[in-house]
Amino acid sequence: MHRSAPRLSRILACAAVPVMLVAVGCSSDSGSDGKKNAGSSPSGSASAKPSEPTVEPAKFSDLPDPCGAIGKKTVEDLVPDAKKKGGTAGQSSDLSARGSCSWNGLDDKGLKGSQYRWLDVGLTRFDSDQALGSGAERATADYTKQIAKAKAAEGATKVAAEATAGIGEEATVVTYGLSKTDEDFEYATVVARTGNVVVTLTYNGAGFAGGKKPSSADMVEGAQKAVKEAIGAVEKTAEATPPAKGEDKDADKGTEKAGDDGTKDSADSGDEDSPKEKAKATPKS
Do 199 and 109 have their domain in common? yes
Give residue 147's region: left, alpha or beta (phi > 0; psi -120 to 50). alpha
**pLDDT per residue as tens digits for the range 21-58:** 343 444 444 444 444 444 444 444 555 566 777 999 99
Do 121 and 250 have their domain in common? yes
Q: Which residues contact 136 (CB under 8 A, 6 or more apart)?
A: 56, 58, 59, 126, 195, 196
Of 204, 161, 208, which Cα lies nearest the Cα of 186? 204
Determine the Cα–Cα distance for residues 73 and 85; give it in Å rounded to an integer: 10
Do 171 and 244 have their domain in common? yes
Identify the domain containing residue 72 by its residue range: 66-279
- In the three-class reduction of DSSP (H, G, I as helix; E, B as strand; rest coil), residue 260 is classed as coil
Q: Higher-confidence residue: 14 or 69?
A: 69
The whole-number pLDDT of residue 263 equals 39
Do 92 and 16 have their domain in common? no
Q: How far from 35 is each of 27, 32, 45, 46, 159, CA to CA, in Å? A: 13, 5, 19, 20, 77
- Asked, for residue 56, whether it belongs to a domain, the answer is no
Q: In the chain, which residue ranges form alpha helices assigned H by DSSP?
A: 4-39, 72-78, 135-151, 216-237, 275-279
- Asked, for residue 34, whether it belongs to a domain, the answer is yes
Do 30 and 120 have their domain in common? no
- Asked, for residue 54, whether it belongs to a domain, the answer is no
**pLDDT per residue as tens digits for the range 224-246:** 999 999 999 999 976 544 444 54
**pLDDT per residue as tens digits for the range 120-153:** 999 999 999 999 999 999 999 999 999 999 999 9
Give residue 27's region: left, alpha or beta (phi > 0; psi -120 to 50). alpha
Q: Higher-confidence residue: 261 or 92?
A: 92
Q: Higher-confidence residue: 258 or 113?
A: 113
- Asked, for residue 266, whether it belongs to a domain, the answer is yes
Determine the Cα–Cα distance for residues 226 and 244; give it in Å rounded to an integer: 32
- In the three-class reduction of DSSP (H, G, I as helix; E, B as strand; rest coil), residue 151 is classed as helix
The whole-number pLDDT of residue 49 equals 61
pTM of the model: 0.70
For the chain, state the CA radius of gyration. Answer: 37
- Asked, for residue 97, whether it belongs to a domain, the answer is yes
The whole-number pLDDT of residue 109 equals 85
Do 85 and 6 have their domain in common? no
Q: What's the pLDDT band for 110 if we cut at 50, 70, 90?
A: confident
Do 32 and 98 have their domain in common? no
Domain containing 128 — which CATH number? 3.40.1000
* Average pLDDT score over residue span 91-98: 95
The whole-number pLDDT of residue 209 equals 87
Instruction: Compute the Cα dihedral for 57, 61, 66, 70 and give only its sign.
Output: negative
The whole-number pLDDT of residue 235 equals 95
Structural domain total, the chain: 2
* Pair type for strands 197-208 and 114-125: antiparallel
Q: How far from 57 is each of 74, 130, 164, CA to CA, in Å? A: 33, 10, 27
**pLDDT per residue as tens digits for the range 142-184:** 999 999 999 999 999 999 999 999 999 999 999 999 998 889 9
Helices (H) then strands (E): counts for the chain: 5, 7
Do 114 and 5 have their domain in common? no
Do 13 and 74 have their domain in common? no
Do 72 and 21 have their domain in common? no
% the chain with pLDDT above 70: 65
- Asked, for residue 206, whether it belongs to a domain, the answer is yes
Do 18 and 87 have their domain in common? no
CB 106 within 8 A of CB 276: no
- Asked, for residue 58, whether it belongs to a domain, the answer is no
Indicate the burial class of 100 (C-beta count within 10 angstroms; 0-12, 13-18, 19 or more). buried
- Asked, for residue 230, whether it belongs to a domain, the answer is yes
The whole-number pLDDT of residue 250 equals 47
| Cβ atoms < 10 Å from Cβ of 15 | 9
The whole-number pLDDT of residue 47 equals 55
| Average predicted confidence (pLDDT) for the chain | 78
The whole-number pLDDT of residue 159 equals 98
Do 101 and 27 have their domain in common? no
